[in-house]
Structure 1
Amino acid sequence: MKAIVLGGGRNTGPLKKTEASSYEAGITINNRPMVEYIIDVLAAMVEVETVLVVIPPGVIDPEKWSKVKTVLPGQRMMDSLIQAFEHVQHEDHVLVVASDVPLIKQEALRDFLASCQRRPADAYYSFVPKTAILARYPTTKRTYVRLQEGTVTGGNVFLIRPQVILKYRDRIEQAFALRKHPLQLSRLLGFKFLIKLLAGRLEVAEIEARVEEILGMKGAGVLSLYPEIGVDVDKPSDLALARALLTEEEKPQSI
């Protein structure tokens, strides 16, 4: 399997005030670019043969990993994704991971991939229950949506058939841009979805069916109980949490 890490996003959000890096992937944790934590995990997985990192020159040294190749980012996230998928367009499915989830672990990705094997789809999208997030990271603040299955947040891990992205680029870009804005996403899906979402009665299966109607592709929501999939670093409090946890992990073990 091939994996893609999306590391071309510019540091123009809340982190810009405190972090000098031009790209979010280059923001440092323990004197390392944040994206290296994700690359380390993917490069260590026997299931992954190649890791394509969408990133500008100078942020990482790709020679540190035998599996890593770099792809220049585009102007927008979707442009970057398209450029990466053009390198793997003949693959069946490709694992896509954001560059701002430094807490991610191999077992979380393996669990997601195993869940994807349970039913066929063109694109799999992860989501995590609020209870799982708060049980592990009680101070983190995320964007949640209340569904029939419970209150969840969108994940940052996907499994996608490249041909689907290349075929439905414009429509997928619109939906992808709204993934952290559930109300706007529901408007795209239809008025009935908005009403049901506000009432907390919208089901994952209904979203999947509507996505297939709109795009002509089969999507599947994948529930993950691994909170690190849903905890990305997009504000100073997230970065402080990641730095504290990873610093603790990397402390030498006392004998």
Structure 2
Amino acid sequence: MTDIVAILLAGSRPGTDPLAKAAGVAIKPLAPVAGDPMINYPARALLSHPAIGKLLILTQTPDLLTANPATAWIAEHPKVMFERSGAGIASTLMTLLDRPGMTFPLLVTTADHVLLDRDMLDQFVAEAKGADLAVAMVERATLLARYPASRRTWLKFRDGWWSGANIFWFGGPQVRPVVALWREVEQDRKKGWKILSAFGPLVLLGALLRILPLRGGIARVGRRFGLTARLVAMARAEGCIDADKVEDVTLIERILSERGG
């Protein structure tokens, strides 16, 4: 299976990113982690995976990546194409979904997913395959068992506290209504109740009363749109550790050192 199109989100949010500012670089994907621009890590993981046939890099400023000696290799890779992204992630994805000739499935992840590796991709692809929509998340006990001091944004459900792992699966253009909803709540991604309420009162009530398991909630959301939707509960704690804050980079660099690179 080499027909998956991977999409690596490498754009900039409005305003100044603290990691980019601290590193003295123009955009966050160029901020160094263990001496290497962070985008290089997930790019290498995706390009080396046998299931990935093509990699699209979405960014508002492709020239900053192609002109940088440390990231120019990405543009030179035969599987890579750059796409200029718009104001928001979901809006850009909507454009891709509507593009004639676009091939599926799509696997979407982010440039700050520095710890992404072959094992995580193997699990996600195996469990997402065949679904219209899949979302990777990590349960709090999984993270705290390995990294008890790590702080994440959590959503509480009957089956635990969950944090996003920044890997998504779109099986085909039929996911367009979900991406359209994502576009509506994009600015509230850290406000869990607003996201849940957008998916309907039963899902919101189930989360608030702790009576709805996340796996069942995602499946129910999928059925609302006529889709097969799945939770991929990542086995690796590192799945939800992205380079979002200075303390995240410190932890990631320690993990990379323990891995040996």
Give yes or no for TM over 0.5.
yes
Q: Deviations over 1:14-39 (max 9, x none)?
A: 53552333322121113321011000
Q: Say which SS state the counterpart of residue 18 (structure 1) adopts.
A: helix
Q: Say which SS state the counterpart of residue 121 (structure 2) adopts.
A: helix
Q: Does 1:45 align with 2:23?
A: no
User: What CA RMSD, in Å, does the superposition of the two structures yield over aligned residues?
Assistant: 2.5
Selected match of 1:209 from 194, 199, 220: 220
Selected match of 1:152 from 162, 175, 179: 162
Q: Deviations over 1:17-72 (max 9, x none)?
A: 52333322121113321011000011111111211111322223124533222111
Is the 1:8–1:80 Cα contact (8 Å) retained in structure 2? no
Q: Return the alpha-carbon distance in structure 2 between the equivalents of residues 210 and 82 of structure 1.
A: 19
For structure 2, which runs of at least 5 residues remain unmatched after alignment?
66-70
Q: Return the alpha-carbon distance in structure 1 between the equivalents of residues 229 and 169 of structure 2.
A: 10
Q: What letter corresponds to residue 64 of structure 2 in structure 1?
A: G
Residue of structure 1 equivalent to 2:201 = 191
* TM-score w.r.t. length of structure 2: 0.83
Instruction: Return 12-21 or 152-161, whichever deviates more.
Output: 12-21
Q: Percent identity?
A: 23
Q: Deviations over 1:91-112 (max 9, x none)?
A: 2311111111101111111111
* TM-score w.r.t. length of structure 1: 0.85
Residue of structure 1 equivalent to 2:64 = 58
CA separation of 1:189 and 1:103: change in aligned 2, threshold 3 A:
same
CA separation of 1:193 and 1:163: change in aligned 2, threshold 3 A:
closer
Q: Does 1:18 align with 2:22?
A: yes
Q: What letter corresponds to residue 172 of structure 1 in structure 2?
A: W
For structure 1, which runs of at least 5 residues remain unmatched after alignment?
none
Q: Say which SS state the counterpart of residue 64 (structure 2) adopts.
A: coil
Q: Return the alpha-carbon distance in structure 2 between the equivalents of residues 189 and 73 of structure 1.
A: 26
Residue of structure 1 equivalent to 2:68 = none
Instruction: Return 182-191 or 28-37, whichever deviates more.
Output: 182-191
Q: Say which SS state the counterpart of residue 39 (structure 1) adopts.
A: helix
Residue of structure 2 equivalent to 1:221 = 231
Instruction: Return 197-206 or 96-105, whichever deviates more.
Output: 197-206
Q: Return the alpha-carbon distance in structure 1 between the equivalents of residues 230 and 116 of structure 2.
A: 21
List aligned pairs for 1:159-174, cutoff 5 A.
159-166=169-176, 169-174=179-184
